[in-house]
Structure 1
Amino acid sequence: MKQQRALVIGAGIAGLATALRLRHKDYEVEVFEASPHTGGKLHAIQQDGYRFDLGPSLFTMPHFIDELFELYGANAKDYFNYKKKKRVCNYFWEDGTQFQADASVEDFINKAAKKFGEPEATIQQYLKRNREKYDLTANLFLEKSLHQAKTYFSVETLKAISQLYKLNLSESLNSVNKTYFKNPKLIQLFNRFATYNGSSPYKTPGIMSMIPHLEMHYGTFYPKGGMHEISQSLTRFAKEKGIKFHLNTKVHKILSQASKVTGIETEKGKVEADLVISNMDVFNSYQNLLKEAKKPQKTLQQERSSSALIFYWGIKKEFSELDLHNILFSEDYQTEFDYLFNKKEMYKDPTVYINITSKETPSDAPKGAENWFVMVNAPANYNQDWEQIKQDAKMAILQKIQLCLGVDISSYIETEYCWTPVDIEKETSSHRGSLYGASSNSKWAAFLRHPNFSSQFKNLYFCGGSVHPGGGIPLCLLSAKIVADLIPEI
């Protein structure tokens, strides 16, 4: 019997994972990528002696990466290594308050209770409820297709439906957090987890309080070699397993005949296939590759998630008070998100995230220096004046750092690179530069995300952060697993 061929469009993390899962099912797999590199947003650059990861900086739930190696009976550690962080994140406020969030849940509860004046029992109860939310819904919302009837006829689903009151679907994340805590700083700390899927804590439903459970239960990790090594280790392994990569090869069209996809058309010609999987942003998949197909307008017109404005700074100084992950909070969090999602503008007092991989890999910066990945939340790209916004944001970031850390770092910046939402859109084909596809600012958002399969073409599938179950590395990897489960073995 002739081996069946599967074509993957896009070599982002979900595309790589899908390719490996289908190769394991004995498909002949080829990956087509417009860029000269694999990894999508998981890319890196070298500049003036500094190394910077360009994209995602937080690594959680590493077992989803390990699974891809273990599928083949390989020892993941022979290909990819990481270590668990003892400290999750350092938090700073302008009034001088600082809080170091430890990976140990017991230590976190104890320290947070003392720092923020909240009862330990209340924090413990909050975290317990977050775990319950995850346990009730993970099987339904994260691990299976929401768009197949059989998903809803299971014991797990019926159990979740019977306990809907625990999920806080009709309340915002902020409202839920305020029912547990009085200290505005602790509320703000837990509100910030809405940004993990590019949403507003004042709009996204309270079920999202399960996100801190994932971080605190599974921990945060640092990959040896940086975040870029996640995609590169998978690429090397994929090539070892016979997966073919076509880089610098832009796909122009997904070919179809009647209700069947027959392959793709690239600038180098047509390629026939039995299956096609698009890892491209689903909006652009329809806009550019499926121009003649019927478009799911309600899905494609959903509100975009937030984007980001990122400065990559080589800092010729070391800061002992900073760790791998650091947050410098806005004094008015609610107004910041009002600007982002309602006004589509940057707020003058942004929350600043600083990631410094040289804390873990000293060779990422010259001796006595640090490589700062400095990110602020940004609205999606609606043709704002990003050059002016970039200048204003840089001044606001420098001011925030001075107010929180007590130092003017402007004289320590010896090299700079920058990504705006326009750059993210251009480099990664993310519609409007949104980091997570659609936002989750509605209790129906999970159901409105595009399914992992096409209802028009039986052999067309979708993976990645713009489709079910959502954005971020773990969910992208789960989207690949869902796709592979939908496709029969040969």
Structure 2
Amino acid sequence: MPQQKALIIGAGIAGIATAIRLAVKGYAVEVFEANSYAGGKLSEFEQQDYRFDAGPSLFTMPQYVDDLFRLAGKKPEDYFTYQKLDVVCHYFYPDGTHLKAYADEQQFAEEVKAKTGEPAIFTHKYYRNSSRIYDITNHVFLEQSLHRLQTYLSSKTLKSILRLFQIDAFRTMHQANRSFFKDKRLVQYFDRYATYNGSNPYKAPATLNVIPHLEQHFGAYFPDGGMYSITSSLVRLAQDLGVIFHYNSPVDEIVVQGKKVEGLMVKGDLHLADVVVSNMDVWFTYRKLLSGHPQLFPENILSQERSSSALIFYWGINKQFPQLDLHNIFFSANYEAEFKAIWNEKAIYHDPTVYLNISSKYQTNDAPPCCENWFTMINVPANTGQDWDTLIAEARQNIVQKLSAQLGEEIVPLIINESILDPRSIESRTSSYQGSLYGTSSNSQFAAFLRHANRSATISNLYFCGGSVHPGGGIPLALLSAKIVSEWVV
């Protein structure tokens, strides 16, 4: 019997992981990538003598990466290594409070008590609640397809379904967090986890309070070589398994005969396939690659609210700041107003929460001696036609004023080079509709059920992976989407 062929659209992290899994299953796999590089959002670039990871900067759940090497019969450490962070993030509040998020729960609870006065028992209680939500939802919402009958026939799933009333789906994250803590700074701390999937804590269900467990229990890590080493190591593994990557090769069309995939049209050539997997945003997959089949579009899914986007300034800084670490957050003084600006006004708040990532703290050659590479990001709305040039100029001024005040030194004279990534360029570079980072938002209790499935309901042998489909955005969930696809494919 001839070897079956699988074609994958997009060399984002989910596309690469899917390629690995299908190659292990015996498929001949080829990946078509529009850019000249792999990784999608998880890419890198150099700016003079500074190296930057372009996109995701927080690494959690490393076991999902290691699993791919073990699945292929390889030793993960031969390809990819990382170190656990003792302090996950440094938080700076407008009132001068500096909170260190220690990886050790007891140490963090003591830090919280010392800085906010909240008893340590409340912090432990919160994490027990977060752990319970994870235990209930993991097998149903994360590791399996919600659109497959056998998911609901397993004993683990049935046990979880019987406990769904415990996942706190009918309060918002903010409401739940206020019930655990009195101190507004700590409520703001836990509200921030909504941004991990581009959502609004004042609207998103408290079920998303599972996210702190993923970070606190499983830990946060720094990959040796930076975040891009996740991409480069998995590409190397895929190539060792015989996967072929075609760069600078945007797909023009998914070719469908009747209601079955025949292959892909790339640069005028037809590439036949038994299976096609799209790692492109599901919105563009339908609107662009399946434009000749509008009767097959899941309009109810394609019209859903998109997640938030990001505005990132990549700054080469001509100084080192010992009070900063790998991950740093500078909070807004009015969190609710910030989210109202993003979600209701589709604008950028004048006092945004600033995330500052400095990989040179761990990877010293990412910046010249006595310098730092600043990945400076704020959450912004998805692109719906705003005057971004004006918004970016205003945001830059507000950000440098905020950082200068918090750090006690004027930042602008220290910036010796700069690049900018905004929702428009995120969309053009990564085919993420409206520049949304996580596909659709999770601002309702039904969001998990409304994400696009990992298999087409109308076109045979067409599958989907990546952050715009189930189970969601971010590196861990994108990797799980690849696992779900491989289990669907026979």
Between 1:39-48 and 1:144-153, the stretch displaced more is 144-153
1:170 matched to 2:170? The reply is yes
Deviation at 1:160, TM superposition (A): 2.2
SS in 2 for 1:377: strand
1:139 alignment counterpart: 139
Q: How does 1:197-212 map to 2 (within 5 A)?
A: 197-212=197-212
Task: Give the percent of matched residue pairs that are identical in Structure 1 and Structure 2.
Answer: 51
Deviation at 1:256, TM superposition (A): 1.1
SS in 2 for 1:106: helix
The whole-number CA distance in structure 2 between the counterparts of 1:447 and 1:107 is 37
User: Structure 2 counterpart of 1:246, which letter?
Assistant: H
User: Structure 2 counterpart of 1:280, which letter?
Assistant: M
1:368 matched to 2:343? The reply is no
Deviation at 1:268, TM superposition (A): 4.2
- Maintained 8 Å contact 1:249/1:268: no
2:468 alignment counterpart: 466
The whole-number CA distance in structure 2 between the counterparts of 1:389 and 1:361 is 32
1:333 alignment counterpart: 335
1:8 alignment counterpart: 8
Q: How does 1:438-449 map to 2 (within 5 A)?
A: 438-449=440-451
SS in 2 for 1:218: coil
1:396 alignment counterpart: 398
Deviation at 1:164, TM superposition (A): 2.5
2:87 alignment counterpart: 87
User: Structure 2 counterpart of 1:447, which letter?
Assistant: F
User: Structure 1 counterpart of 2:48, which letter?
Assistant: D
Deviation at 1:153, TM superposition (A): 2.7
- Maintained 8 Å contact 2:280/2:431: yes
Q: How does 1:37-436 map to 2 (within 5 A)?
A: 37-293=37-293, 294-436=296-438
The whole-number CA distance in structure 2 between the counterparts of 1:404 and 1:156 is 48
The whole-number CA distance in structure 1 between the counterparts of 2:154 and 2:77 is 36
Structure 1 residue runs of 4 or more that deviate by more than 3 Å after TM superposition:
none
1:29 alignment counterpart: 29
SS in 1 for 2:261: strand
- RMSD value, Cα: 0.8
SS in 2 for 1:6: strand
Deviation at 1:393, TM superposition (A): 0.5
SS in 1 for 2:21: helix
- Maintained 8 Å contact 2:136/2:164: no
- Maintained 8 Å contact 1:284/1:429: yes
SS in 1 for 2:344: helix
- Maintained 8 Å contact 2:328/2:355: yes
SS in 2 for 1:343: coil
Deviation at 1:72, TM superposition (A): 1.6
- Maintained 8 Å contact 2:465/2:478: yes
Deviation at 1:163, TM superposition (A): 2.1
Deviation at 1:402, TM superposition (A): 2.1
TM-score (norm 1): 0.99
The whole-number CA distance in structure 1 between the counterparts of 2:435 and 2:196 is 16
1:477 alignment counterpart: 479
Unaligned runs of 5+ in 2: none
- Maintained 8 Å contact 2:45/2:51: yes
Between 1:227-236 and 1:146-155, the stretch displaced more is 146-155
Cα deviation, 1:319-351, whole Å, max 9, x if unaligned, reads 000000000000010111111111110111100
The whole-number CA distance in structure 2 between the counterparts of 1:247 and 1:413 is 33
- Maintained 8 Å contact 1:95/1:404: no
SS in 2 for 1:209: helix
The whole-number CA distance in structure 2 between the counterparts of 1:164 and 1:44 is 40
The whole-number CA distance in structure 2 between the counterparts of 1:252 and 1:442 is 34
Cα deviation, 1:205-235, whole Å, max 9, x if unaligned, reads 0011110000001111011111111111111
